[in-house]
Amino acid sequence: MPAVRRVLTFWRRALTFWRRSIQARVVASTVVLSAVVVSGVGWLSLQQIQQGLLDHRVDVVLGEVDAEVGEAADRLAAASGTEVNSGRQQRDLVDPIIERGASRGYSVVLAGPEGEDVPLAAGGGEYTSGLDLASIPSTLEDHFDAPNRPTAWTYTEIRFRDSASTRATAGVVVGSQVVLPSDGKTYTLYFLFPLTEEDETLGLVTRALATAGALLLVLVAGVTWLVTRQVVTPIRMARRVAERLAAGRLQERLEVAGEDDIARLAYSFNQMATNLQRQIRQLEELSWVQRRFVSDVSHELRTPLTTVRMASEVLHDARDRFDPAAARSAELLQEELDRFEALLVDLLEISRFDAGAAALATEDVDLVALVNRVVAAARPLADQRGVRVLVEHVDAEARAEVDVRRIERIARNLVTNAIDHALADDPTETVIVRLASDTDAVAITVRDHGIGLAPGEAAMVFNRFWRSDPARTRTSGGTGLGLAIAQEDAHLHGGWLQAWGRPGQGAQFRLTVPRRAGATLRNSPLPLIPEDAVSSDAALGATTAAVSATQELPS
């Protein structure tokens, strides 16, 4: 098993290197294509060399056979008047040729006479000692089945037999007919020339081509590696600098060397980085000014607001002595001051987050009791809207180390938003609050079946002052900062606040916090997509989005 794991790890690393390295893919592709081209060219060259060697050998063999047959014919003609014994004349004809063949490396067979149908395999005729007569192809024998046949040749396998073993080699066999004066019959001389030298030459050429091809591939790989390195190295440097820029090190720049395209690219990259750095600093300064402005205005408005509230309370307490119009104005003034004070509180809270001054006061609490308390506080609003609010939880309690004030603010915001966005005056309308926990995390989901969220809005609901329908009347008020603050509170806990929605099918928000302060979340005990929407997601496609503190999170 360890060996298997090592192999799997090696292949995983190799595949990762292959996917990430342009240089490796370019070198490998070039080497493979070069190997195909070199193999094709080498094969064609070998075929041409082989054919040239064989053609040259055949020409030499045919010339040598013509010379031997001519010399034999002259000797027979000179001896025709004195020799009358055909057997003796056959031996005188073939023995000198066999002797020369032994010294020159070829074999000789004398077959015949024609017309007696004695096959060579039966051992008829004179031939070189040790030669297997089956080396002469039957097709060539059939060619010389009658007198006056022209010289013919073919390729064959020449075999020799001895008491220990059998040897075989490729060769050329040439046949030519002669007439013995002693009996006037036609005999066939077969000359068998081995192609040993040609095989050795072809093997030498093959090894030379293979060695040259291998060296050429190594050279091509090296050249390709060097060429691609010149292009890839600046790209890798640009990637590293871009990563450092993305990490906030805005002073990083590429080194510019030369005047080629890569150098011009590095120069343009540096200009872009400089412009981005200048714009980011301008935005940071503007953001700081805006945060300071919001913080200062929020604090400065507290004093006049306190004075105005004191006067408003006097008017509100005395409204019974006013005429109806003045009494209603006193009530509206009190309501709007409440909303204005809530807006200031939210702005001050946002300014604390922006300044990094927000801190947690954690304690070990039961979130089940916290959720029940929030739902009980929101029930008058739900009764006013005609909406039922149900709480579902698996465990009797779900304890976690959290800031009670902040988690209660998140839950209250989610529940009141769900009531506000639910379908009013619908007796079946229900806001469902679920709570579940595991060994690492506690999750709270708030589900409504109201107007829902359009595609892309699930990621925008946490933006400051954002509303899906700015013209819609809100019975519960609101400043537009509630979800933004809730998200900051969740991030402060190291948790997740995520949203899902679909037009006409409602929405669901999920809060997930670690059970122990400072722990890292891996998953959530509750799904982000509601169970009643999972079945339709497969057919219609889910319109979902998740906003997380640090990373893209599983639903």
Please answer whether residues 209 and 46 qualify as being in contact, where contact means their C-beta atoms are separated by less than 8 angstroms: yes
In sequence order, what are the residues at sequence separation of 6 or more whose Cβ sits closer than 8 angstroms to the Cβ of residue 409? 485, 486, 489
Tokens for 539, please give them.
């057919």
The backbone region for 148, taken as left when phi is positive above 0, alpha when psi lies in -120 to 50, beta otherwise, is left
- Distance in angstroms (rounded) separating the CA atoms of residues 245 and 276: 10
Find out whether the peptide bond into 113 is cis, omega within 30 degrees of 0. Answer: yes
In the block, residue with structure tokens 């063949």:
101
pTM of the model: 0.50
The pLDDT score that the predictor gives to residue 467 is 67
Tokens for 101, please give them.
């063949």
> Among 484, 488, 383, 395, which Cα is nearest to 439's?
395
> Among 97, 103, 83, 94, which Cα is nearest to 124's?
94
359-386 burial, b at 16+ Cβ within 10 Å, e below that, comes to ebebeebebbebbeebbeebeebbeebe
In the block, residue with structure tokens 């093959």:
206
Output Rg (C-alpha) for the chain, integer angstroms: 50
Tokens for 287, please give them.
């953001």
Q: Residue 511 corresponds to which amino acid?
A: L
* DSSP one-letter string for 106-125: -EEEEE--TTS---GGGT-S
Q: Residue 388 belongs to what H/E stretch?
A: strand 388-393
Tokens for 10, please give them.
């090696």
Q: Residue 199 corresponds to which amino acid?
A: D
Structural domains in the chain plus CATH codes: 52-201 (3.30.450.20), 253-358 (1.10.287.130), 362-471+479-545 (3.30.565.10)
Tokens for 303, please give them.
């004093």
In the block, residue with structure tokens 């057919």:
539
Please answer whether residues 437 and 525 qualify as being in contact, where contact means their C-beta atoms are separated by less than 8 angstroms: yes
- Distance in angstroms (rounded) separating the CA atoms of residues 314 and 303: 17
Q: What is the pLDDT along the chain (555 residues), one digit of tens a residue?
A: 678 888 888 888 888 888 878 888 888 899 999 999 999 999 999 999 999 999 999 999 999 999 888 888 887 777 655 445 566 667 777 788 888 888 888 888 888 777 665 556 545 567 888 888 888 888 888 888 888 889 999 999 988 887 667 788 899 999 998 887 777 788 888 999 999 888 899 999 999 999 999 999 999 999 999 988 888 888 888 888 888 888 878 888 888 877 777 788 888 888 888 888 888 888 878 777 766 776 677 667 777 878 887 888 888 888 888 888 888 888 888 888 877 777 777 777 777 777 677 778 889 999 999 999 999 998 988 888 888 889 988 777 788 999 998 899 899 989 998 888 876 656 667 899 999 988 889 999 999 888 888 887 887 888 877 766 554 444 444 567 788 888 888 988 899 999 998 888 889 999 999 988 888 888 899 998 888 775 555 444 443 333 333 333 333
- Distance in angstroms (rounded) separating the CA atoms of residues 267 and 279: 18
Tokens for 470, please give them.
């700015």
- Distance in angstroms (rounded) separating the CA atoms of residues 133 and 124: 9
The phi, psi pair for 457, rounded to 5°, reads -80, -20
In the chain, helix, strand, coil percent, each to 5? 55, 15, 30
